[in-house]
């Protein structure tokens, strides 16, 4: 059941995520303008910004998905507000530690903190352990929350039912809603990532505190790091897809989506392939067995194809020649699916080994992941935020500035990622603070990218004002009296 305390904690999450998002997006715009030569930052400041930007973005959009499914899960099973608050408090503590390590301690090893970089201390010596502890704090909060949500699902659905296996046979008695299926698949994936992060941190701390008596295996650490980092942000997107399955038909005035055998099959396949796609980050590690590189290529194809195909199919069937009540919520979901598909297509191009020889570590990489994050996952969450804020405020009014906001979001968002794609196609490398004269094209594109991103953030600010206002309504005395 959705009670007032769940509404309140959800409101706090939404306001915090949106505010932190705008600040962190400004870090990104600052980086783009520095790459464009419009402003001048020291390399240390640039890479500190890049590290804080990367970890914070991945973190907030992972918890945004968890918070949204936690809220909607209350329609089917009991959820714990105490665990939700616990995860929120630990996320805030983790964020303060993270930003202290990057902005006070100048830790700047990138969001992947790829081994052995964290141990080549080019910053305050305390910043390395503080950064690693911040990841541990996030990990504790999110692991407890993920386990709590899964346990609630298993109180109502058996393991087989949570994966919708009964839908492969005829005459089943219990129907698994697509929302429960996709949430289970994604939460299990997230849990596996978080367990991997524990192993990774234990190994890194073991070396840090060993006084030189223990050294890690670089390839093992790279595998663990990418398994954790690459997979968690992918799973976060699927949590957004779960909210889409739950809300898109409802807000469009159409019947609910049903789990069919092919929906069940697609999401079961997604669980396996998302967990094995990360090998595409190791194509240039030639000591890695060739078989694993092939697993990386084919898992990358199959990780996105089944889930995207059934989602697009379901949405096309729902929208095609049917009367749809369009609102900001389903418009944002719809554009989000387009961003997901374009970004996924960009990822599949890069994950093809022969292409990766050309595109590896170019701006094509931030191009594809920013497309399915900034124009996919963020929009799925924004759709949920907008819907739930209207629920809190008890309004369904569509404000007049809708076209303006959507227009700015489309121009700003797709313009911003297009600059990355063009630069990637011209082999401009990623993670350069400033581009040398030989890469002057990168400079111009970065500057244009910064301006497009500014338009995108203006659109987000226009959403933020309205959403925050409506979210605050759950703290009014009238809400307490009604509860
Ligand atoms: C207006 C929005 C955003 C702007 C302007 C922006 C800008 C940037 C820039 C300039 C970089 C460095 C690219 C390079 O040269 O390699 C970057 C990296 C990154 N961004 Fe964003 N970004 C935005 C939104 C997002 C979102 C929504 C996510 C969500 C996950 C995200 C995640 C990342 C990650 C993980 C990195 C890699 C950091 C690293 O290499 O250590 N960004 N971003």
pLDDT digits (tens, 9 = 90+) for 1-59: 889 999 999 999 999 999 999 999 999 999 999 999 999 999 999 999 999 999 999 99
Identify the pLDDT of residue 478: 78
Atom 8, ligand 1: residue with shortest CA distance: 28
Identify the pLDDT of residue 172: 87
Lowest mean pLDDT among 92-101, 322-331, 333-342: 322-331
Q: Give the distance (Å) from ligand 1 centre to CA of residue 54.
A: 6
**Other CB atoms within 10 Å distance of the CB of residue 301:** 15
| DSSP conformational letter for 375 | I
Angle formed by the axes of helices 218-252 and 261-276, to 10°?
A: 150
| Ligand 1 contacts CB of residue 111 (under 6 A) | yes
| Ligand 1 contacts CB of residue 454 (under 6 A) | no
128 confidence band (pLDDT: 50, 70, 90) = very high
Lowest mean pLDDT among 191-195, 247-251, 323-327: 323-327
Q: Give the distance (Å) from ligand 1 centre to CA of residue 370.
A: 7
| Ligand 1 contacts CB of residue 445 (under 6 A) | no
Q: Give the distance (Å) from ligand 1 centre to CA of residue 287.
A: 29
Atom 28, ligand 1: residue with shortest CA distance: 57
Atom 27, ligand 1: residue with shortest CA distance: 374
Q: Give the distance (Å) from ligand 1 centre to CA of residue 385.
A: 22
Identify the pLDDT of residue 352: 93
Best CA proximity match to 256, nearest among 330, 314, 297, 320: 314
Identify the pLDDT of residue 396: 66
| DSSP conformational letter for 428 | P
Residue 400, pLDDT > 70, answer no
| Ligand 1 contacts CB of residue 366 (under 6 A) | yes
**Other CB atoms within 10 Å distance of the CB of residue 394:** 11
94 confidence band (pLDDT: 50, 70, 90) = very high
Q: Once rounded to an integer, what is the mean pLDDT over residues 123-143?
A: 98
Identify the pLDDT of residue 171: 86
| Ligand 1 contacts CB of residue 280 (under 6 A) | no
Lowest mean pLDDT among 9-23, 359-373, 447-461, 469-483: 469-483
Report which of residues 432 and 316 the model is more confident about: 432
Identify the pLDDT of residue 483: 63
Atom 20, ligand 1: residue with shortest CA distance: 54
304 confidence band (pLDDT: 50, 70, 90) = confident
Atom 17, ligand 1: residue with shortest CA distance: 28
Q: Which of 30, 47, 366, 373 to mutate to test the pocket of ligand 1 (most atoms within 8 A of CB)?
A: 366
pLDDT above 90: percentage of residues in the chain: 88
Residue 399, pLDDT > 60, answer no
Report which of residues 481 and 374 the model is more confident about: 374
Lowest mean pLDDT among 13-27, 107-121, 226-240, 394-408: 394-408
305 confidence band (pLDDT: 50, 70, 90) = confident
| Ligand 1 contacts CB of residue 370 (under 6 A) | yes
Q: Give the distance (Å) from ligand 1 centre to CA of residue 332.
A: 21
Tokens of 356: 């990766």
Which atom of ligand 1 is found nearest the CA of 58? 30
Tokens of 102: 């990057």
Alpha-carbon distances, residue 68 vs 84, 85, 375, 381, 467 (angstroms): 11, 14, 18, 7, 15
Q: Give the distance (Å) from ligand 1 centre to CA of residue 172.
A: 45
Q: Give the distance (Å) from ligand 1 centre to CA of residue 31.
A: 9
pLDDT digits (tens, 9 = 90+) for 180-215: 999 999 999 999 999 999 999 999 999 999 999 999
Rounded Cα distance, 194 and 429, in Å: 30
**Other CB atoms within 10 Å distance of the CB of residue 93:** 16
Tell me what percent of the chain is helix, strand and coil, each rounded to the nearest 5: 80, 0, 20
What mean pLDDT, rounded, does the chain reach? Answer: 95
Q: Once rounded to an integer, what is the mean pLDDT over residues 220-231?
A: 96
Which atom of ligand 1 is found nearest the CA of 111? 41
Lowest mean pLDDT among 3-12, 122-131, 153-162, 394-403: 394-403
* Contact call for residues 200 and 221 (beta carbons, < 8 A): yes
Identify the pLDDT of residue 342: 96
| Ligand 1 contacts CB of residue 28 (under 6 A) | yes
pLDDT digits (tens, 9 = 90+) for 57-78: 999 999 999 999 999 999 999 9
Residue 401, pLDDT > 70, answer no
Lowest mean pLDDT among 303-307, 336-340, 390-394, 464-468: 303-307
State the SS3 of 186-253. HHHHHHHHHHHHHHHHHHHHHHHCCCCCCCCCHHHHHHHHHHHHHHHHHHHHHHHHHHHHHHHHHHHC
- Residue 74's φ and ψ, nearest 5 degrees, are -60, -15
Q: Which of 53, 56, 336 to mutate to test the pocket of ligand 1 (most atoms within 8 A of CB)?
A: 53
| Ligand 1 contacts CB of residue 32 (under 6 A) | yes
Rounded Cα distance, 144 and 159, in Å: 19
| Ligand 1 contacts CB of residue 431 (under 6 A) | yes
Residue 349, pLDDT > 70, answer yes
Atom 11, ligand 1: residue with shortest CA distance: 28
User: Burial of 211 by CB count in 10 Å (0-12 exposed, 13-18 middle, 19+ buried)?
Assistant: exposed
* Contact call for residues 112 and 229 (beta carbons, < 8 A): yes
Identify the pLDDT of residue 479: 73
Tokens of 21: 């998002």
Identify the pLDDT of residue 290: 92
Cis peptide before 116 (omega within 30 of 0): yes
| Ligand 1 contacts CB of residue 429 (under 6 A) | no
The Cα diameter of the chain in Å comes to 68
Atom 4, ligand 1: residue with shortest CA distance: 28
* Sequence-distant (≥ 6) Cβ neighbours of residue 150 within 8 angstroms: 184, 187, 188, 191
Residue 433, pLDDT > 70, answer yes
């Amino acid at each position: 059941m959705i009670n007032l305390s769940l509404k309140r904690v959800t409101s706090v999450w939404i306001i915090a995520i949106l505010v932190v998002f705008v600040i962190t997006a400004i870090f990104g715009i600052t980086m783009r303008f520095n790459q464009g030569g419009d402003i001048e930052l020291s390399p240390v400041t640039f890479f500190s910004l890049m590290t804080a930007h990367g970890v914070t973005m991945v973190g907030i959009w992972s918890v945004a998905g968890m918070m949204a499914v936690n809220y909607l899960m209350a329609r089917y099973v009991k959820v714990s507000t105490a665990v939700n608050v616990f995860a929120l408090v630990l996320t805030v503590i983790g964020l303060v530690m993270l930003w202290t390590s990057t902005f006070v301690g100048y830790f700047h090893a990138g969001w992947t903190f790829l081994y052995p970089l964290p141990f080549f201390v080019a910053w305050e010596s305390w910043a390395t352990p503080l950064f690693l502890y911040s990841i541990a704090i996030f990990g504790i909060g999110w692991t407890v929350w993920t386990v709590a949500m899964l346990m609630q699902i298993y109180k109502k659905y058996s393991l087989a039912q949570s994966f919708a296996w009964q839908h492969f046979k005829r005459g089943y008695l219990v129907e698994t809603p697509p929302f429960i299926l996709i949430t289970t698949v994604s939460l299990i994936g997230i849990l596996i990532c978080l367990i991997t992060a524990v192993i990774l941190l234990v190994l890194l701390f073991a070396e840090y505190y060993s006084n030189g008596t223990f050294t890690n295996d670089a390839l093992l650490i790279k595998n663990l790091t990418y398994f954790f980092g690459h997979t968690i942000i992918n799973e976060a997107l699927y949590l957004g897809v779960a909210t889409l399955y739950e809300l898109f038909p409802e807000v469009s005035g159409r019947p609910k989506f049903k789990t069919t055998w092919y929906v069940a099959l697609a999401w079961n396949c997604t669980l396996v392939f998302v967990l094995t796609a990360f090998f595409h980050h190791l194509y240039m590690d030639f000591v890695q067995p060739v078989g694993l590189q092939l697993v990386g290529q084919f898992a990358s194809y199959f990780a996105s194809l089944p889930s995207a195909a059934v989602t697009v199919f379901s949405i096309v069937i729902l929208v095609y020649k049917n009367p749809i009540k369009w609102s900001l919520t389903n418009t944002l979901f719809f554009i989000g699916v387009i961003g997901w598909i374009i970004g996924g297509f960009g990822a599949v191009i890069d994950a093809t080994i022969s292409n990766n020889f050309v595109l590896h570590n170019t701006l094509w990489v931030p191009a594809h992941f920013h497309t399915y994050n900034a124009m996919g996952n963020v929009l799925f969450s924004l759709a949920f935020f907008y819907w739930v804020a209207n629920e809190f405020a008890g309004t369904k009014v569509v404000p007049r500035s809708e076209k303006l906001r959507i227009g700015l979001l489309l121009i700003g968002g797709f313009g911003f990622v297009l600059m990355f794609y063009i630069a990637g196609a011209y082999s401009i490398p990623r993670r350069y603070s400033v581009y040398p004269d030989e890469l002057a094209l990168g400079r111009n594109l970065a500057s244009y990218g910064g301006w497009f991103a500014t338009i995108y953030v203006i659109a987000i600010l226009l959403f933020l004002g309205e959403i925050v206002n409506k979210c605050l309504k759950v703290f009014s005395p009238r809400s307490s009296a009604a509860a």
